[in-house]
Amino acid sequence: MLKKIIEMNKHQKIDLNFSYEPTDQYHHDLIKKIDNISVVGTLNYQDNLKCLLVQAKIFATIEAVDARDGQIIVSENQSFEWDDEYYFAQIAADQHNLVLGDDFDIKGYAIEQIVLNIPLNFTKNCGKISFVGKDFKLLSEEEFEQEQLDKIDPRWEVLKDFKVDK
């Protein structure tokens, strides 16, 4: 959607549908395909800030590789909240989404929101992680802190070598 159209229609309801295209890029190693993308919500443009506020819900079907067993997982009709601000002008802070150019690619930004909400280790097996390993064990934060407190400082061992003559 072009910036000019967004500026003219300051408050706009959207109900858009997109389908998979082989040229779609996801920047996530486990995602193979995002299809049946539906974006429903509102776009609100604030002229004084050159800011577009997106408040929408995204629905999509995701085809991804299970991080544990390598099988393909198809998650249908997944929903994601999209509540973000995008700026068309340079902002001094580095924590803002800056739109480069005059085109706000709704499908591209919707895919970005989906990818940001997918875990790095996407899996359908939500059981415990295997605790097997060489020379390590998985500790909770409390167990780690207790182990650190119980650990003897090696400098104290050196004191045993000193002999005090009376």
Percent above pLDDT 70 for the chain: 89
In the chain, the N- to C-terminal Cα span, in Å, equals: 90
The CA distance from 24 to 34, in Å, is 9
Asked whether the predicted pLDDT for residue 160 surpasses 80, the reply is: no
Asked whether the predicted pLDDT for residue 129 surpasses 60, the reply is: no
Cβ–Cβ under 8 Å, residues 123 and 67: yes
Q: Residue 47: CB partners within 8 Å, gap ≥ 6?
A: 7, 10
List the domain boundaries for the chain: 3-116
Chain segment 19-43, per-residue pLDDT in tens: 888 788 887 778 889 999 999 999 9
Chain segment 103-126, per-residue pLDDT in tens: 888 898 899 999 888 877 777 776
Residue type, 116: L
Q: How many CB atoms lie within 10 A of CB 112?
A: 16
Average pLDDT taken over every residue of the chain: 82
- Phi-psi region for residue 20, left (φ > 0), alpha (ψ -120 to 50) or beta? beta
3 state SS for 98-139? ECCCCECCHHHHHHHHHHHCCCCCCCCCCCCCCCCCCCCCCC
